[in-house]
Amino acid sequence: MKTWMLAAAVGLAMALPALAQSNAPHAHGATTQAASSEMYEGQVRRVNKEMSRVSIAHGPLKAYNMGPMTMAFPVKNPKQLDTVKEGDKVRFALEQSGENLVVTRIEVVK
């Protein structure tokens, strides 16, 4: 009986972190359908074409319950990275893909 209870306790202890992670989206909260069409403003800090990622210092992302910060985002269409460089002020759109926020559109602000 004690062996069974110990095995059950160990199994539960190992399962809890996995359950907690599966319900915690990277975007810090629930999103709305309109979130992917909303445009945000920021400044490009780094472009990594090899990894298809762009680092952007951005203001609040209200649809994702996120405050201002600098984040590296994957880009849905890597060819869009040809249009931006470090220091550019940009407008960008995001969508949630699994646990990641992905840039679906990015344009330089003139």
Beta carbons within 8 Å of 86's beta carbon, 6+ residues apart:
44, 45, 46, 47
pLDDT tens, 53-70?
A: 999 999 999 999 999 999
Cα–Cα distance for residue pair 74/49, rounded to 1 Å:
10
Residue 12 lies in a domain: no
Domain-embedded: residue 103: yes
- pLDDT class of 110 with cuts at 50, 70, 90: confident
**Residue 18 within any structural domain of the chain:** no
pTM summary value: 0.69
Tell me whether residue 11 is in a domain. no
* Average pLDDT in the chain: 81
Q: Is 104 inside a domain boundary?
A: yes
Tally of domains within the chain: 1
- Position 8 in a domain: no
Q: By residue range, what is the domain housing residue 76?
A: 26-108
Q: How confident is the model at residue 50 (pLDDT cuts 50, 70, 90)?
A: very high
Residue range 6-40, pLDDT digits in tens: 555 555 555 545 444 433 334 544 444 445 579 99
What's the CATH number where 53 sits?
A: 2.40.50.320
How far is the CA of 22 from the CAs of 25, 34, 67, 89, 108, in angstroms?
A: 8, 24, 22, 34, 35
Does residue 65 lie within any of the structural domains?
yes
Angle at 28 between CA 25 and CA 30, to 5 degrees: 75
Measure the CA–CA gap between 100 and 80, rounded to whole angstroms: 18
In a domain, 69, yes or no: yes
